[in-house]
Amino acid sequence: MVGDSSFDLLMARNAGMDSVAVSYGAQSIEALQAFEPRLSIDRFPQLHAWLSQGAD
């Protein structure tokens, strides 16, 4: 789940999914860190690069 709000990351957690927090949305990246996303990004190409490398 890619999300920009605590609701998105909480939904991912409750569904047992990994989450990716984006810094360019509804809430600050600092607020989203409380939900322990698998990855935090500032630009969408960072997600593509991470996935291309095997998403470790």
Q: Are 8 and 19 in contact (CB under 8 A)?
A: yes
Query: Looking at residue 31, what is its pLDDT?
Result: 93
Number of other CB atoms surrounding residue 49 within 10 Å: 11
Domain ranges of the chain: 2-52
In tens digits, the chain (56 residues) has pLDDT values of: 999 999 999 999 999 999 999 999 889 999 999 999 999 999 989 999 999 998 76
pTM, to two decimals: 0.83
Query: Looking at residue 54, what is its pLDDT?
Result: 83
C-alpha atoms less than 13 angstroms from C-alpha of 5 in its C-beta half-sphere: 4
